[in-house]
Amino acid sequence: MYTEKVMDHFTNPRNVGEISDANGVGEVGNAKCGDIMRIYLKVEDDIIKDVKFKTFGCGAAIATSSMVTELVMGKTLDEALEISNQAVAEALGGLPPAKMHCSNLAADALHEAIKDYIEKKGK
């Protein structure tokens, strides 16, 4: 049902936690399944220097949150904005159709955090 990569990111999630001085925070949720994701960014010179997440949800939600943090670390904001829902799922080797909405949440939370950063900077 799940790929080895999904199971690895679920059982050994990367970048879990909060960034106390984050300059971008994004939160999204899905009322239907109950998943909630929050992504914290530390951005310097438009480069993501640190990223952490907290997710309440299923294994796929945790795995996609973990993967999206790995995909954006060290990227520019423009590069991070290009990360799509499909890219997150593909990086994990795919998700079952019933769990594809979880990859949507991860990318959406990332985009919300970037939007929050941009709004705080007045750009």
Given a cut of 70, whether residue 83 has pLDDT beyond it is: yes
Residues 43, 108, 96: CA angle, nearest 5 degrees: 130
62-80 average pLDDT score: 96
In the residue annotation, 58 being an active-site residue is answered as no
**Residue from 7, 16, 25, 33 carrying the catalytic annotation:** 33
Query: Quick check: 123 pLDDT over 80?
Result: no
**Which structural domains are found in the chain, ordered by start?**
4-116 (3.90.1010.10)
**Are 47 and 34 within 8 A, CB to CB?**
no
Q: What is the pLDDT of residues 5-29, one digit of tens each?
A: 999 999 999 999 999 999 999 999 9
Q: Which two tokens stand for residue 113?
A: 């955090």
Task: Mark whether 33 is an active-site residue.
Answer: yes
For 46, counting Cβ atoms within 10 Å of its Cβ (0-12 exposed, 13-18 middle, 19+ buried), the class is: middle
The pTM assigned to this predicted structure is: 0.92
Q: How confident is the model at residue 111 (pLDDT cuts 50, 70, 90)?
A: very high
Mean pLDDT computed over 55-76: 94
| Active-site option among 22, 71, 95, 102 | 102
Q: How confident is the model at residue 55 (pLDDT cuts 50, 70, 90)?
A: very high
